[in-house]
């Protein structure tokens, strides 16, 4: 129950932070088969928030075990289907606890559940697929040894942030065809089988990830992606859109950079309709600032003070935004009830959406200016 409620709030927070989340391949996640979901990990805790909201079926997450040592956070992690995995740096007690946690994971798979594993093993704010860890392959092997009759899907997922920490940017999610494992996976040399599976997963994930061979090329990619983002940066009611065109274009740009090919300078401009829309929406933006300015300022001040590593900026902003947004809505309800003006609450959503529309148009101006400066 709490999982569904928090998922609802998280979807609202994502809609405020990001302009659109474009996804493809959702049909590959089957409801009748245990699934290990292999995903990259470029932006702190934002990936589990996005994937937990994208998948209609409940999912479980493997996360850093040290997070569970914070008592105020432990209940929330458990309530949102997160499973602790401890590392060597967490000490011997944590490593001993991994045995029962892995038993729990295997039991969930036996029951036909879905487990998300951030297979790179750590988080890094970059456009690239880093070397994969063998933990997923080991879980698949151990589960099949206990339940050789099972069919287990390994689902490759690539999640891409055009600019994770910039408000009103886009998220691109690609989901590949599953790799199905059965008892044959246990035949032969286990180490070689796990190594081969891990390499195979990497090949499948690369098809859905904007990957740079050299991280020094990030500035080039940033400029090259602006025309693509600008092309799709029109205001939209819907956060979620099933579409792969933008991801494919972005992957091709990264591939071209990897090959050392020269980019073609593009002339970006704004049509007269853009300015008409901006003029019409500006009054709603001002109202939105008046209505939502205080909670947004609190969120920004909090994350600016608390975030030490940029990789956690968006995830902390979204997570804290859920808490502040819920508290602010409760306060507005109490005030409206006190003055007998509950009908004014109906205006909150359209004011919010129209304010975001103006923000998207303003962001388009900034994108073009940034492109000209780079």
Q: Does the residue 32 lie in any domain?
A: yes
Cβ(176)–Cβ(207) below 8 Å: yes
Q: Does the residue 230 lie in any domain?
A: no
Distance CA 298, CA 294 (A): 6
Q: Do 182 and 329 fall within a single domain?
A: no
Structurally, the chain folds into a number of domains equal to 2
Which of 217, 241, 263 corresponds to the end of one domain?
A: 217
Q: Do 17 and 131 fall within a single domain?
A: yes
Which of 179, 201, 217 corresponds to the end of one domain?
A: 217
Range of the structural domain that residue 126 is part of: 2-217
Q: Do 164 and 304 fall within a single domain?
A: no
Q: Do 115 and 195 fall within a single domain?
A: yes
Distance CA 240, CA 301 (A): 28
Rounded to two decimals, the pTM is: 0.94
Q: Does the residue 54 lie in any domain?
A: yes
Distance CA 219, CA 297 (A): 29
Q: Do 166 and 94 fall within a single domain?
A: yes
Q: Do 175 and 60 fall within a single domain?
A: yes
pLDDT tens track for 25-44: 999 998 889 999 999 999 98
Q: Do 192 and 301 fall within a single domain?
A: no
345 φ, ψ (degrees, to nearest 5): -65, -25
Q: What is the CATH number of the domain that holds 139?
A: 3.40.1130.10
Q: What is the pLDDT along the chain (374 residues), one digit of tens a residue?
A: 788 888 999 999 999 999 999 999 999 998 889 999 999 999 988 999 999 999 998 999 999 888 888 777 888 888 889 999 887 666 666 677 788 999 999 999 999 999 999 999 999 999 999 999 999 999 999 999 999 999 999 999 999 999 988 899 999 999 999 999 999 999 999 999 999 999 999 999 999 999 999 999 999 999 999 999 988 876 677 899 999 999 999 999 999 999 998 877 788 888 888 999 999 999 999 999 999 999 999 999 999 998 989 999 999 999 999 999 999 999 999 999 999 888 888 999 899 999 999 999 998 888 888 888 87
- Residues recorded for the chain: 374
Contacts of 189 (CB under 8 A, 6+ apart): none
Q: Does the residue 166 lie in any domain?
A: yes
Q: Does the residue 237 lie in any domain?
A: no
Q: Does the residue 235 lie in any domain?
A: no
Q: Does the residue 70 lie in any domain?
A: yes
Q: Do 57 and 167 fall within a single domain?
A: yes
Q: Does the residue 222 lie in any domain?
A: no
Q: Do 192 and 289 fall within a single domain?
A: no
pLDDT tens track for 268-284: 888 888 999 999 999 99
Q: Do 12 and 84 fall within a single domain?
A: yes
Q: Do 23 and 148 fall within a single domain?
A: yes
Whose tokens are 């909150």? That residue is 348
Structure tokens that stand for 187 in this block: 């035949």
If we measure between CA atoms, which residue out of 112, 203, 93 comes closest to residue 152? 112
């Amino acid at each position: 129950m709490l999982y569904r409620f928090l998922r609802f709030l998280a979807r609202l927070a994502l809609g405020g932070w990001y302009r659109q989340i474009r996804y493809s391949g959702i049909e590959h996640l089957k409801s009748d088969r245990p699934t290990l979901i292999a995903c990259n990990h470029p932006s702190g805790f934002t990936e589990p928030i996005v994937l937990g909201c994208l998948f209609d079926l409940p999912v479980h997450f493997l996360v850093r075990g040290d997070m569970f040592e914070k008592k105020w956070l432990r209940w929330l992690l458990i309530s949102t289907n997160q499973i602790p995995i401890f590392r060597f740096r967490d000490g011997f007690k944590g490593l001993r606890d991994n045995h029962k946690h892995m038993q729990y994971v295997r039991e969930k798979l036996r029951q036909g559940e879905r487990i998300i594993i951030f297979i790179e093993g750590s988080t890094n704010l970059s456009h690239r697929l880093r070397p994969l860890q063998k933990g997923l392959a080991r879980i698949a092997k151990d589960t099949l040894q206990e339940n050789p009759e099972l069919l287990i899907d390994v689902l490759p997922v690539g999640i891409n942030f055009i600019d994770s920490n910039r408000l009103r940017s886009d998220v691109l999610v690609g989901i590949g065809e599953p790799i199905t494992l059965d008892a044959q996976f246990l035949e032969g040399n286990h180490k070689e089988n796990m190594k081969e599976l891990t390499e195979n997963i990497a090949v499948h994930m690369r098809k859905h990830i904007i990957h740079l061979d050299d991280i020094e090329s990030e500035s080039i990619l940033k400029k090259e992606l602006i025309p693509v983002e600008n092309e799709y940066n029109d205001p939209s009611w819907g956060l979620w859109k099933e579409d792969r065109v933008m991801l494919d274009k972005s992957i091709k740009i990264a591939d071209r950079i990897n090959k050392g090919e020269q980019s073609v300078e593009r002339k970006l401009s704004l049509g007269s309709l853009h300015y008409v829309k901006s003029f019409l929406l500006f009054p709603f933006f001002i109202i939105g600032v008046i209505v939502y300015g205080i909670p947004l300022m609190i969120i920004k001040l909090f994350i600016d003070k608390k975030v030490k590593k940029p990789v956690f900026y968006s995830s902390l902003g979204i997570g804290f935004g859920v808490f502040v947004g819920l508290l602010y809505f409760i306060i507005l309800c109490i005030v409206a009830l006190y003055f007998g003006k509950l009908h004014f609450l109906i205006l909150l959503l359209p004011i919010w959406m129209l304010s975001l529309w103006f923000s998207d148009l303003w962001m388009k101006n900034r994108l073009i200016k940034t492109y000209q400066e780079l």
